[in-house]
Structure 1
Amino acid sequence: MAKRKILVDSTRRELEAHGTETFPMTVNHDDLWSFEGKNVPIHWHNDLEISLPREGEAIYQVYQKSYRVRPGEGLLLNRNVPHSCSSPRNERALYSTILVRPDFLYGDFGSDVERNCFRPFLQNSAVPCIHLTEADENGKEILQKLNQVETVFDQKSFCYELKIKGLLCEVFSMILYAHRQELTKFIPANQQELERLEKMLNYLNLHFAEVISLQELADQVHLSREVCCRLFKKMTGKTITGYLEEYRVNKSFPLVQSGQYSMTQIAELAGFSNPSRFASAFRKRFGCNPGEYNSLKNNRL
C-alpha cells in the first residue's frame, strides 16, 4: 500500500486544500503508520487545525515545545505555525483532524467578529497552539462539541454544513474566552522569521543528498551561523543537524522498502556520509536496522 505524504511546496507550506472553496473545512481520519516514516514532517498551512487522538498518543512539536496529546484530549494549532507529529516509541497512533479556514468562522476581514475575537489569536505569535483537556467542565464541553463536529461531518445529513459551522463557532467562542488573558499578551507574528525559516528548509530539502555547509545555509538568510542555528531551533524545536538526519531517514524509507538497493547505495542516495551513520539514524527512528525492516514487516502481516 502506498504511503501517504503531506504535499508541500519548497518552503514546507502544505499545498492540499482542506475542504472546498464553498465549504472550507474537513475532517480527516488519520493513522501515523499510513505516512512515510510513520510520522508527519514539519509543515504549516493557513487553516486552523484541531487534532483529536483516538488511539495511542500523538506528540506534536510546535516550535521548541513538545505536546503529548492523549485520547480524550485535543490540540488546537494556530494558522501558519510549523508543526510535526510523531508517536512515542514509534507506536501506532490514530487520530481525527479537523481543519477549517478561519474566514469560514469570522466572515469578512475587518468584521467585529474577526477584529475583536479572532485577530488576537490568529495574529498572535505568543499563542501558537492550545492544549485542550477535560480539566474542567468547559474543557469537557469543548471536546464533546468537537466530537459532534466529526460525527455530523461523517453522517452528512441535511443542513450538516450549518450544524458544523454553529458547533465550531461555539467551540471557538469557548476556547478564546477561556484563554482571554493569554490573548491580551499580544506579540505580533514575525513574518521575517517565518520567511527565513522557509528559505532554510527549502535549501536543506533541495540539497539533502549533498554535504551541506552551515555557512552556505546561513548565507541564504543573511545571518551568522550562530544566529541561523538559534532561529532554526526556535522555529522548529530541532537542531539543523537533527532535522537533516530526520529528513534523510524519511527519504531513505521508500528505498529500504523497495528492497532494490544495498545499504551503501541507500546511504549515499539519502545523503549520509557512510552506511553506519545511516543504520544508526534509521535504528533510532524505526527501532531496527534497515536490513531487518522488511523481514520484521512481513512477520507482522
Structure 2
Amino acid sequence: MQIKDFMIDQSLKELTEHRTVVLPIACYETTINQNINGYIPHHWHDEFQFVLIVKGEAIFQINEEKLAVREGEGLFINSGSLHMAKDKNDSGCVYICLNVSPSLVLSQELYTSYVNPYIQATNIPYLYLDAKELWAKNILAAIVKINQLIQQNPPYYEIDITIQLTLIWKNLLINGFELEYEHTEMLKSHRMKQMLNWIHLHYAEKILLDDIARAGQLSRSECCRYFKRILKTTPLNYVTDYRIQKSLILLQQSEFNVTDVAYQVGFNSTSYFIDKFRNSMNMTPLAYKKYKNYCSLVK
C-alpha cells in the first residue's frame, strides 16, 4: 500500500492511521513521485519512522537539515520531527516506510529508561542509517524482515515483528549517541508548529506577514528567519505553496472550475493563481484538471 495523498491537520501533523496489522505499526513501500504533489510534503507524526531506500535516491529534509539518501541506505526520523522528501534527479525513488508507535518498541517497564529519553532529546531529530555501520545494517535488515512478515503473514508473525522491533531499538541504543535537551530547541519547534497551524487554519483568507509572526509570538524579522532556516522559504511563499497543494484536490472535482478553486484556496486573482500553479507544477491548473479527469476515466 502506498499513501499517495498525505492527510495532515492544521499543524502539519499527519492524520494517516499508521496501522497495517493489529499492532500500532505500518509498513509500506512509497514511490515518491506518485504522491499527489509529486513529492512528500512537510509533515510530522508521533510515531517513529524508519526508512530504507530500495531504489534510486531521495533528498530528505528533517527540521532544518537536508541530506541525500541513496539505495541501500536509510533514516530513523524521531517522533515529532518535521520532515519531507523529494526524488533526486528523477531517479524513480522507492523506499520502505516503517512507522511505529513509540509505546510498541519496548515494554512499558523499559519505555521510561530506554525510549522516552530519545523522544525528548533535541539533538536527534533523525539518524542516518549507513549500511557500512553494523548497528545501522542490522536496523535496515530488520526493516526488510518486518516488511516481509507483513506481506507474507506467517503464523505468529505479530510476535516476530515485536522481536524485530526490539532488535531495531537495541541497535539504535548501542550506537552510543549522547542525548541533549535544550529548552530553546523545544520552544523553536513549538513556535514553528504554531505558525504552521495558523496558516493552515486561515489559508483561504487574506494573510499578512504580521499575522503569521503574531501566531508564533515573534517579530516579523524573526518569523522570516524561522521559515528560512527550517523550511528554506519565506512565510508568504510557503502560504502560496500550501494554497497550491490544497488546490490539487479541488481541481479533481468536476463541480469546480479553475476560478472557483483559485478563490476557495485564497488567491484573489485567477491569473495570479494560474501563474503560481504553472511555476510549481509545470502545467496550468486547467491542464492538471483535464489530466486528472482523463486518468480517472481510464482506470
Normalization by structure 1: what TM-score? 0.82
Indicate the SS of the match to 2:206: coil
2:223 matches 1:228: yes
Partner of 1:6: 6
Q: Say if 1:202 and 1:271 are closer, same or farther in 2 by CA, change over 3 A.
A: same
Partner amino acid, structure 2, of 1:24: P
RMSD: 3.0
Q: Say if 1:262 and 1:23 are closer, same or farther in 2 by CA, change over 3 A.
A: closer
217-226 vs 144-153, which moves further = 217-226
Partner amino acid, structure 1, of 2:31: D
Indicate the SS of the match to 2:41: strand
CA distance, structure 2, for counterparts of residue 249 and residue 202 of structure 1: 17
Q: Find 1:174's aligned residue among 171, 178, 187.
A: 171
Check the 8 A contact 2:47/2:99 in 1, yes or no.
yes
Percent identical among aligned pairs is 27
Mapping for residues 75-224 of structure 1, pairs under 5 Å:
75-88=75-88, 92-108=92-108, 111-112=109-110, 114-115=112-113, 117-178=114-175, 180-181=176-177, 183-187=178-182, 190-224=185-219
Indicate the SS of the match to 1:38: coil
Consecutive unaligned residues of structure 1, counting only runs of 5 or more, are none
Mapping for residues 18-29 of structure 1, pairs under 5 Å:
18-19=18-19, 23-29=23-29
Check the 8 A contact 2:33/2:87 in 1, yes or no.
no
CA distance, structure 1, for counterparts of residue 98 and residue 10 of structure 2: 25
Mapping for residues 228-247 of structure 1, pairs under 5 Å:
228-247=223-242
Q: Say if 1:292 and 1:16 are closer, same or farther in 2 by CA, change over 3 A.
A: closer
Consecutive unaligned residues of structure 2, counting only runs of 5 or more, are none
2:280 matches 1:285: yes
263-272 vs 8-17, which moves further = 263-272
Deviations 1:36-75 (A, max 9, x none): 3223322211110112233333332211222322321111
Check the 8 A contact 1:32/1:93 in 2, yes or no.
yes
Deviations 1:192-241 (A, max 9, x none): 43332232112211222232111122222322112222234444444312
Q: Say if 1:146 and 1:275 are closer, same or farther in 2 by CA, change over 3 A.
A: same
Check the 8 A contact 1:90/1:286 in 2, yes or no.
no
Partner amino acid, structure 2, of 1:286: M
Normalization by structure 2: what TM-score? 0.83
Counting matched residue pairs gives 293
